[in-house]
């Protein structure tokens, strides 16, 4: 903390020519009035109090007044002293303080209105404030988050571990409050340094509350103590820094829920001294010209213009945030009008698997199989966003196609069409990078639209298309290894980083040897069609356990459709996605579901395949359309073309391809965000 320096903190030094000021010299209120431009506020206490506020900058100015430490002179006493006019010149000198926890960058005094006989003298001392890392801040921000009128918007983020990814905080010029001064970047998948960015935090956000405690009026060190945003010492497990604030706060308990606010910043205070960097001259912000303007009407010419704009300006905003909002809102209305389980009749259709923001590979698909149209319908099977560098280009393209051909463009929801994953795996960060703080409106609109997408499609009453997999066992028995028999796995009790199957392998068990029988009552298409939409799937097992059983089972089925995977062994087994409550299902499970519902083939995505597709079961195909996934997987991408065979039934054929970049080079790597499960 930078303390206020009072009468007894500093004093005057002697001059090099012996004609310096005598100690215990006093300046009157009139003296302070003569230099009111320096004092902020002007001294109103009569006898001089040497002011030191954190926002005041200080460097020597010409031949000025010097201040020295206690070791050289006695302290100035408090209270009134005999008035004494200054009639001698004031020599230059060094200025120091004896405060151990205050480290001024450069100190100075400013002499204004000095005259040999009748002039007044005013002394103003200030120090550069420092950020949480001890670095000087030449122009401290001026803000007050405790003033509700200054708050423009609010944002809440929750952190389950430290550090949060904020590299530095800064105080206001008053020494109160804490502003996000510097944010980290994600250098590798799961990097803690990128947590705050992935949670939507931006620089110049101000900490308003921590775990419900309003800290906006607290002193800066007290807020830092409560945040405890430091790296743990690997040897001791304790925080490397100790408390510095007067309140002696301990770090808040995890998880830490922080409310940030974006506020109207006041003009930064500048010091009236020669060496202070000149204030930045405000420049009018240029009005951005967006290459594309959405006006609700989408025809072939507009589609072509959009694809050209997305290609030419990839990685940059092509639509204004208002136009983007309108597009998402219009598409949202279309999805709400559709069913949870869409039944459609087609002559042929192209089924596209996970795209994950790989825009140039989407263009490659159009080149190979033709642009979508009434005669060439497409079904996009989820996971349009996250991980890849161009999620916005991908999803905007798909939505414009949906607006142009609402009856010939089909879209299933994937597990990555969910707000929690978008915050973690890149889509939220991409929106922020394009649109800044204003992008939170667009993110919310996308999240709401995703909640209303269909969960599955049935093509020609013959082919079932879903992103993830099939519902789990009935009854849904928990895996439990508590007895040590290796017959199961306790999903709820596991809290490590590895998935369930991997954990079992570490214990010496083969998860593929664990098998639960098929469902007693097979789920029907009508059961799937009746599933609710408008929310995010409940993947938090603890919260799921608190729901009534009927409601919990509905949520489990939704999670299965988005997250489950097939396996080679019959029956059900523990999934490595077990923390989502998922099971892996065998070929007999697939066959039983298809027969029960009069279907012949199942198509799903959700998993990377080396060749881009795989006959995972005799009647189940996995298709993955993002080649060289994450920039290093080396897999091919694939799409499925369903067209009538000699008996008139939809039969699959496959088109595979390598990754390509903006130049069209096959095999080139694209940029990717995080890397975890698909």
Enumerate the active-site residues.
416
CA 619, CA 592: separation in Å to the nearest integer? 11
CA distances from 364 to 354, 361, 590 (A): 14, 5, 32
Contact of 583 with 609, CB cutoff 8 Å: no
CA 58, CA 10: separation in Å to the nearest integer? 15
Give me the half-sphere count of Cα atoms (radius 13 Å) on the Cβ side of residue 553. Answer: 11
CA 162, CA 182: separation in Å to the nearest integer? 16
Q: How many residues does the chain have?
A: 678
Alpha helices in 239-313 (DSSP H): 300-312
E strands, 84-205, are 151-159, 166-170, 179-183
Establish whether the linkage from the previous residue to 163 is cis, with ω within 30° of 0.
Answer: yes
CA-based nearest residue to 89, from 124, 50, 60, 119 = 119
**Main-chain phi, psi angles of 203, to 5 degrees:** -65, 145
Establish whether the linkage from the previous residue to 41 is cis, with ω within 30° of 0.
Answer: yes
Q: Is 85 exposed, middle or buried (0-12, 13-18, 19+ CB in 10 A)?
A: middle
CA 413, CA 384: separation in Å to the nearest integer? 9
CA dihedral 592, 598, 599, 604 (to 10 degrees): -60
CA 176 to chain centre: 26
């Amino acid at each position: 903390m930078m303390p206020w320096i009072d009468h007894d903190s500093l004093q005057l030094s002697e001059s090099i020519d012996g004609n310096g000021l005598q100690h215990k010299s006093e300046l009157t209120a009139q003296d302070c009035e003569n230099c009111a431009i320096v004092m902020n506020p002007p001294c109103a206490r009569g006898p001089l109090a040497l002011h030191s506020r954190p926002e005041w900058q200080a460097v020597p100015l010409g031949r000025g007044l010097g201040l020295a430490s206690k070791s050289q002179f006695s302290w100035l006493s408090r209270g009134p002293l005999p008035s004494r006019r200054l009639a001698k010149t004031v020599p230059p000198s060094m200025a120091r303080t004896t405060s151990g926890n205050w480290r001024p960058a450069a100190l100075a005094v400013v002499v204004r209105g000095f005259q040999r006989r009748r002039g007044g003298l005013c002394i103003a001392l200030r120090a550069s404030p420092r950020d949480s890392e001890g670095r000087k801040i030449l122009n401290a921000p001026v803000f007050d988050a405790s003033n509700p009128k200054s708050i423009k918007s609010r944002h809440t983020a929750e952190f389950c571990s430290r550090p949060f990814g904020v590299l530095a905080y800064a105080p206001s010029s008053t020494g109160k409050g804490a502003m996000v001064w510097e944010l980290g970047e994600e250098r590798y998948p799961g990097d803690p340094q990128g947590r705050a960015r992935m949670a939507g935090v931006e620089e110049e956000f101000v900490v308003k509350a921590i775990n419900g405690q309003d800290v906006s009026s607290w002193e800066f060190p007290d807020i830092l103590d409560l945040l405890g945003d430091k790296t743990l010492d690997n040897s001791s497990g304790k925080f490397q820094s100790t408390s510095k604030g007067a309140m002696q706060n301990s770090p808040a308990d995890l998880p830490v829920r922080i409310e940030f606010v974006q506020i109207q910043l006041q003009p930064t205070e500048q010091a009236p001294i020669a060496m202070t960097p000149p204030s930045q001259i405000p420049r009018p912000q240029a009005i951005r010209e967006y290459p594309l303007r959405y006006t609700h009407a989408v025809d072939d010419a507009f589609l072509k213009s959009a694809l050209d704009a997305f290609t030419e300006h990839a990685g940059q905003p092509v639509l204004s945030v208002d136009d983007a909002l309108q597009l998402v809102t219009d598409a949202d209305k279309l999805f709400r009008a559709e069913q949870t389980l869409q039944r459609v009749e087609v002559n042929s259709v192209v089924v596209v698997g996970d795209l994950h923001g790989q825009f140039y590979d989407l263009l490659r698909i159009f080149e190979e199989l033709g642009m979508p149209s009434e005669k060439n319908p497409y079904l996009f099977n989820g996971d349009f966003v996250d991980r890849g560098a161009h999620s916005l280009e991908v999803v905007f393209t798909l939505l414009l196609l949906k607006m142009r051909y609402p009856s010939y463009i089909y879209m299933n929801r994937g597990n990555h069409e969910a707000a929690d994953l978008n915050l973690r795996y890149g889509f939220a960060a991409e929106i922020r990078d394009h649109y800044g703080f204003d992008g939170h409106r667009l993110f919310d609109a996308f999240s709401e639209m995703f909640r209303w997408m269909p969960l599955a499609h049935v093509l020609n009453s013959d082919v079932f298309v879903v992103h993830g997999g099939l519902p789990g066992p009935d009854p849904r028995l928990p895996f439990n290894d508590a007895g040590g028999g290796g017959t199961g796995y306790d999903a709820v009790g596991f809290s490590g980083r590895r998935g369930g199957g991997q954990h079992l392998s570490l214990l010496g068990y083969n998860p593929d040897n664990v098998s639960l029988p098929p469902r007693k009552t097979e789920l029907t298409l009508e059961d799937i069609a009746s599933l609710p939409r408008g929310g995010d799937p409940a993947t938090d097992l603890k919260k799921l356990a608190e729901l009534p059983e009927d409601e919990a089972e509905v949520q489990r089925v939704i999670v299965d459709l988005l997250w489950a995977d097939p396996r080679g062994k019959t029956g059900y087994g523990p999934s490595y996605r077990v923390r989502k409550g998922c099971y892996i299902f065998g070929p007999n499970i697939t066959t039983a579901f298809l027969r029960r519902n009069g279907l012949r083939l199942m198509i799903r995505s959700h998993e990377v395949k080396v060749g881009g597709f795989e006959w995972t079961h005799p009647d189940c195909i996995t298709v993955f359309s993002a080649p060289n996934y994450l920039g290093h997987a080396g897999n091919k991408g694939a799409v499925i073309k369903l067209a009538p065979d000699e008996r008139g039934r939809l039969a699959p054929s496959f088109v595979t391809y390598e990754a390509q970049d903006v130049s069209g080079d096959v095999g080139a790597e694209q940029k990717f965000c995080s890397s975890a499960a698909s």
